[in-house]
Amino acid sequence: MPPTPTAKPAFLFDLDGTLIDSVYEHVLAWREALREMQIELSTWRIHRRVGMSDGLMVTALQRETGRKLTKEETERLKRLHSEAFLKRVAQVRPLPGARELLSTLSRLSVPWAIATSGVEERAREAVKILDVGPEVQLITRNDVAHGKPFPDLFLAGAKRLKVDINDCIVVGDSIWDLLAARRARALGVGLLCGGYGQDELVQAGAYRVYEDPVELTRHIDELGVQADL
Amino acid sequence: MPPTPTAKPAFLFDLDGTLIDSVYEHVLAWREALREMQIELSTWRIHRRVGMSDGLMVTALQRETGRKLTKEETERLKRLHSEAFLKRVAQVRPLPGARELLSTLSRLSVPWAIATSGVEERAREAVKILDVGPEVQLITRNDVAHGKPFPDLFLAGAKRLKVDINDCIVVGDSIWDLLAARRARALGVGLLCGGYGQDELVQAGAYRVYEDPVELTRHIDELGVQADL
């Protein structure tokens, strides 16, 4: 009997905090938006929520502050966050090794896509700094009914790549990525470069945790990719 | 034989990330200063260094970037960080429960002091938002030969309070506080409100980890303080 064939894996990347160094900008943009609406929340609590869909984030913030927002207030908060983030986007850099990781995968013909809870316009703008060209497979909040930690974004990514989700490796910096990966039945890999602690990522189900894209690339054999690095 | 008397504990608090919500301002101030000097370092790596003395931080950054700074460049970097922080200091708020915790301790006649790796001028400015009055016992980098994780700041704090360091509880948000507490032979208690992960604090020797000053106050009996909350 021949051995069970194992498909080559495909990669689904989160964007903020995974490929680009933008988490701290998002944290301060949310804080600015919240203060604009007279809502005070500790900065670290906002940090722990970045990476969720904006809608779920607002729900979580409401629970933590005990203040209920109307639909109009919620929309205003999201808009204020987007504006405050765009003011800071010029400060955002690619994370070390992100560009090289993506070009290595492309060279090895390993399929990959980017799946972010962010909205299309903001994500297109942010992806530019990765120099990946307009042909990049980008799945955003606009393509799905629910953001992370729902599995929708990663399921849509697998579909876009025409790869079984079971053969996909999800790479993300936040527990929301890892929870979404588990719900999607993909393998989740954590990165520390979004500023979360290692234990939070392991507890959320990370198969492996690396510091950043540089370290992931150096250990890519552990994820089943035969690279000639 | 009478039972061994146990002294009432005294508290030595870190400032940034423990009593005031200023860690993210420090992170971005360091990043701005580094970029001004054409040094690129991921934001999360800077975050993991906040709370060390400026001098040790610069040494650590040199190792991580592989670039050696001259004495003049080091002084310039520290100055740029201070300037960039002071630009942001108006955004800094007390952490939830910080003022109440300090006034509770004062009311109960539990001695407490603030011991920070920051320089005197910056610390005096930052302490103002805690409304503690000029009589606060504040130990800064200017009072000791070495900042955290050296034990000097906490040892000086105990001396100032005229309390045995073995009866002191050090409260801090970073592993540098907890390492300094261990070297000083004080009991270290961690807070999550600086944005570090729980495991990092426990691994660095935290006796207990609370979310923020509110949660610490609610559990202050666990630290040997009989409060009538």
DSSP state letters, chain A: -PPPP-PPPEEEE--BTTTBS-HHHHHHHHHHHHHHTT----HHHHHTTBTB-HHHHHHHHHHHHT-PPPHHHHHHHHHHHHHHHHHHGGG--BPTTHHHHHHHHHHTT--EEEE-SS-HHHHHHHHGGGT--TT--EE-GGGSS--TTSSHHHHHHHHHHT--GGGEEEEESSHHHHHHHHHHTPEEEEEGGGS--HHHHHHTT-SEEESSHHHHHHTGGGGT-----
Q: Write the pLDDT tens digit of every residue in A109-157.
A: 999 999 999 888 888 888 999 998 878 999 999 999 999 999 999 999 9
Answer yes or no: are the C-beta atoms of A214 and A102 closer than 8 Å.
no
What DSSP element (H or E) covers B12? strand B10-13
**Between chains, do B27 and A23 touch, taking CB under 8 Å as contact?**
no
Lowest mean pLDDT among A174-178, B54-58, B184-188: B54-58
Average pLDDT, chain B: 92
Answer yes or no: are the C-beta atoms of A164 and A184 closer than 8 Å.
no
Q: Write the pLDDT tens digit of every residue in B28-49.
A: 999 999 999 999 999 999 999 9
- Closest in A43, A200, A212 to B21, CB measured: A43
Beta bridge partners of A112: A11
**Between chains, do B199 and A199 touch, taking CB under 8 Å as contact?**
yes
Q: Which amino acid is at A54?
A: D
Beta bridge partners of A191: A210
Report helix, strand or coil for B81: helix
A43 Cα to chain B: minimum distance (Å): 7
A57 Cα to chain B: minimum distance (Å): 18
Residue A60's pLDDT is what? 85
Minimal Cα distance from A193: which residue of B? B44
Residues of B in CB contact (< 8 Å) with A are 21, 23-24, 27-28, 40, 42-44, 47, 93, 95-96, 192-200, 212
Percent of chain B with pLDDT over 90: 76
Which pair of structure tokens corresponds to residue B133?
């009055």
A6 pLDDT higher than 80 = no
Report helix, strand or coil for A188: strand
**Between chains, do A192 and B44 touch, taking CB under 8 Å as contact?**
yes
Q: Write the pLDDT tens digit of every residue in B122-178.
A: 888 889 999 988 789 999 999 999 999 999 999 999 999 999 999 999 999 999 999
pLDDT band of B226, cuts 50, 70, 90: confident
Alpha carbons B170 and B207: distance in angstroms, whole number: 10
A89 pLDDT higher than 70 = yes
**Between chains, do B199 and A194 touch, taking CB under 8 Å as contact?**
no
DSSP letter for A20, please.
Answer: B
Which residues have C-beta within 8 Å of that of residue A74, sequence separation ≥ 6? A55, A58
Label residue B110 exposed, middle or buried (CB < 10 Å: 0-12, 13-18, 19+).
buried
Residue B116's pLDDT is what? 95
Minimal Cα distance from A28: which residue of B? B24
pLDDT band of A81, cuts 50, 70, 90: very high
Alpha carbons B200 and B211: distance in angstroms, whole number: 14
Residue B59's pLDDT is what? 87
Residue A57's pLDDT is what? 84
B193 Cα to chain A: minimum distance (Å): 6
Q: Which amino acid is at A201?
A: L
Alpha carbons A155 and A39: distance in angstroms, whole number: 35
A128 Cα to chain B: minimum distance (Å): 18
Mutate to test the interface with B, among A20, A22, A24 (most CBs of B within 10 A): A24
Alpha carbons B148 and B141: distance in angstroms, whole number: 9
A202 pLDDT higher than 70 = yes
**Between chains, do A193 and B95 touch, taking CB under 8 Å as contact?**
no
Residues of B in contact with A43 (CB under 8 A): 21, 23-24, 195
Residue A52's pLDDT is what? 85
Percent of chain A with pLDDT over 70: 96
pTM (2 d.p.): 0.92
Mutate to test the interface with B, among A41, A43, A45 (most CBs of B within 10 A): A43
Alpha carbons B63 and A120: distance in angstroms, whole number: 38
Residues of A in contact with B96 (CB under 8 A): 42
User: Helix B175-184 vs helix B152-161: angle between axes, to the nearest 10 degrees?
Assistant: 60
The interface predicted TM-score of the complex, written ipTM, equals 0.92
Alpha carbons B226 and A88: distance in angstroms, whole number: 47
Report helix, strand or coil for A3: coil
**Between chains, do B197 and A198 touch, taking CB under 8 Å as contact?**
yes
pLDDT band of B229, cuts 50, 70, 90: low
Q: Write the pLDDT tens digit of every residue in A8-63.
A: 799 999 999 999 999 999 999 999 999 999 999 999 999 999 988 888 888 888 88
A48 Cα to chain B: minimum distance (Å): 8
Residue A188, phi then psi, degrees to nearest 5: -100, 135
Minimal Cα distance from B43: which residue of A? A21
